[in-house]
Structure 1
Amino acid sequence: MVDNPPQASSGNERLSIFDRFATVTSKWASRAGFFVFCVVLVMTWVPSILVLPSVDTWQLVINTATTIITFLLVALLQNTQSRSDAAIQQKLNAMADALADFMGELSREYPELDRHRTELADAVGLEKREGSR
């Protein structure tokens, strides 16, 4: 588990309030405290059958509460995961770019590397990305 998730896709950008909130929520939801909160929620709900007018209302209370929590957490966790994926992809692209450059320099001495460099460039779309900079 990563303790410090990527802060932004380029590292130079500041995170928005929503992104910071999503990061904090992601950290909190991945800890034991969140699980304890969920267990306490269910344990609080179970005896509420004594004060609610019907079983249907009793079930509706837990269904509504858990659906709302799930819906909001999915949105927040997806934000964090998307930023993490983008940061990892950026690092992989930089490594592939550096490797392709290194292979290009060595291809004078080892001509067979040129074919591998071309395969690498095609696989990760280096020329397309370089042209879009």
Structure 2
Amino acid sequence: MDPQNNQQQTDNGEKKTAGFFERFSSKVAQATGSQWAFFIALAAIIVWGATGPVFGYSDTWQLVINTGTTIITFLMVFIIQKSQNKDSKSVQLKLNELIAANKQASNRLIVVEDLTEEELDTLHNYYTRLAEETKKRLAMKESHSVEEAIENTDEKLEAR
């Protein structure tokens, strides 16, 4: 994805532009997650607090901060959810690719996010037991190495 113009190239070479809300929510989430956004919010609170004596700590003075923060929070819920949905979907797709590419992995796990809570608990118990058995046989630092990663990369290149 080209961050400058929010376009990405499709498989057939066409440029596809992200929708308005996708572009908007991405930019807002990025901006509000910055240190500057925090300092601006902190400055607003300090200014609001400092004006308390000027306005006699009135109900209106309190209502200003309550209303402002409520509106911002309400809108940010949707922005954050959109961002998390996109992130979650992209991570899920990356994991699906890894599962599909690995001959030893179960393709049944590709749609694991569609399982019921009970089915997920069953799989969790299975993998917990598998991890416990692995711990009995191997020390954690012995289970993976740089050499294994290089061998895996070499095997992938040879398979091409």
Pairwise TM-score range, normalised by the shorter structure: 0.5 to 0.7
Other-structure match for 2:18: 15
Other-structure match for 2:99: 96
Aligned partner of 2:65: which letter? I
Runs of 4+ in structure 1 displaced over 6 angstroms? Answer: none
Aligned partner of 1:123: which letter? L
Name which of 72, 77, 89 aligns with 2:75.
72
Q: Which runs of 5+ in 1 are unaligned?
A: 104-116, 127-133
Name which of 26, 31, 41 aligns with 2:29.
26
Q: Which runs of 5+ in 2 are unaligned?
A: 11-15, 113-160
Change (3 A) 1:56 1:11: farther
Change (3 A) 1:46 1:74: same
Other-structure match for 1:131: none
Under a length normalisation based on structure 1, what TM-score does the superposition of the two structures give?
0.65
For residues 8-47 of structure 1, give each alpha carbon's deviation from its aligned partner in whole angstroms, at most 9, with x where no partner exists: 9x97453111111111111111111001111111111113
Q: C-alpha displacement at 1:54, in angstroms?
A: 5.4
Q: Which structure ranks higher in relative contact order (CA pairs < 8 Å, sequence separation ≥ 6)?
A: 1
